[in-house]
Structure 1
């Protein structure tokens, strides 16, 4: 007679599977806030770069024609809305001061820095001073 040899079972037990799921859950709960914060900082840096680029464009306009335009078009963004204001009076073609303000929206709305702005003299401001 042949003796049957016991074979090693294949697969995982339910307890092993639950331990792995618990470890993944803990890692996810730690990593997700860090990742979200990183993404928000990256988007904020992008919009700060856009602000500085557009300020340079406006300064070139000022040098060329002696004033800032009444209206200005900004790139579209899913995460920020742009607001451009100037001191030009209604009907006047040029202003001597401007302010560009960006307000977070959508997925960026929970960003701790809130609104960012820059004016013609290069003064930068934010809801939190550490954000520029």
Structure 2
């Protein structure tokens, strides 16, 4: 009985830490996908002299490893772009909310249906 109680206590301590670790690793995947998409846009703009519009961006550029975020591009003027990574249901409780990256390199956070006030960009982009 003591062993079962001890295992339950250890699980109660370890599970939240593990969940945070998994969320942090998927958060890194989302940030990496945004940076890679931004690099792709810059290479395309160098080759074409302008940013591609949404329809010209391949789906593979917007893919996030692990599938816990969806990336959406907003490039309609050919002079600017914004990429937004929104957490899916399994990542929705992440305190960082969604990530936004634009052509100027500005990194910000956005609220989600579960997280109304996300952590600061410094806490989320630098960890």
The answer to whether the 8 Å contact 2:69/2:91 transfers is yes
Q: C-alpha distance in 1, partners of 2:119/2:105?
A: 17
The answer to whether the 8 Å contact 1:102/1:117 transfers is yes
Unmatched 5+ residue regions in structure 1? 1-17, 89-94
Between Structure 1 and Structure 2, the one with more helix by share is: 2
Q: Report the counterpart of residue 128 of structure 1 in structure 2.
A: 119
Report the alpha carbon displacement of residue 107 of structure 1 after superposing the two structures with TM.
1.4
SS at match of 1:100: strand
Instruction: Determine which of 44, 55, 77 is the counterpart of 2:38.
Output: 55
Q: C-alpha distance in 1, partners of 2:81/2:102?
A: 6
Report the alpha carbon displacement of residue 51 of structure 1 after superposing the two structures with TM.
0.8
Q: Report the counterpart of residue 107 of structure 1 in structure 2.
A: 90
Query: Is 1:19 aligned to 2:2, yes or no?
Result: yes
Q: TM-score, normalised by structure 2?
A: 0.81
SS at match of 2:8: helix
Kindly indicate whether structure 1 or structure 2 has the higher relative contact order, using CA contacts under 8 Å at least 6 residues apart: 2
The answer to whether the 8 Å contact 1:84/1:100 transfers is yes
Structure 1 segment 1-132 matched on structure 2, within 5 A: 18-71=1-54, 72=57, 73=59, 74-75=62-63, 78-88=67-77, 95-126=78-109, 127-129=118-120, 130-132=123-125
Report the alpha carbon displacement of residue 87 of structure 1 after superposing the two structures with TM.
3.4
The answer to whether the 8 Å contact 1:78/1:106 transfers is no
Give the total of aligned pairs.
Answer: 109
Report the alpha carbon displacement of residue 83 of structure 1 after superposing the two structures with TM.
1.2
Unmatched 5+ residue regions in structure 2? 110-117
Report the alpha carbon displacement of residue 110 of structure 1 after superposing the two structures with TM.
0.8
Note the aligned Cα RMSD (angstroms).
1.2
